[in-house]
Amino acid sequence: MNAHIPYEKLIEFTEQVLKKGFNYSEAEARVTAKVLVEADARGIPSHGVARLAFYRQNLERGFAHPGAEPEIVWSTPSSLVVDGHGGVGCYVAEFGVQTPRADYNIHSSLYFIGRGMRHDFTVYQQ
């Protein structure tokens, strides 16, 4: 049987699970819940709310550290390297993508590299 849960209700529920069950901060829970629910809404359940079990395993095994704040370790007007210090990946990614817009006022393209998390990533924006 398939259950249909309204988008906003699923975001609220997922945020509560992340805050109360996983000890995520408000900001970490908000961005992570949005990413997971959006993946489900787009038909990519492998990266949706079902990943909560995987996130729990990462916490239990010491692979993730809620509350760790990202740090800019290198930057230019068009590139940014952020160390996530083992923190919440979605939160670190949002930090990296939003920081250049606020601090550097980039209007063309941006390369952002996140490291020091469960897996590293590169984001290219134009």
In a domain, 41, yes or no: yes
To the question of pTM greater than 0.85 for the whole model, the response is no
pLDDT in tens, 28-54: 999 999 999 999 999 999 999 999 999
Residues spanned by the domain of 53: 7-60
In a domain, 65, yes or no: no
Domain count, the chain: 2
pLDDT of 101 > 70? The answer is no
121 and 76 in one domain? yes
Give the other-Cβ count within 10 Å of 115's Cβ: 15
In a domain, 103, yes or no: yes
In a domain, 33, yes or no: yes
pLDDT in tens, 69-82: 998 888 877 778 88
pLDDT of 109 > 60? The answer is no
**Which pairs with CB-CB distance under 8 Å and at least 24 residues apart come from 9-14?**
10/37, 10/40, 10/49, 11/37, 14/49, 14/52
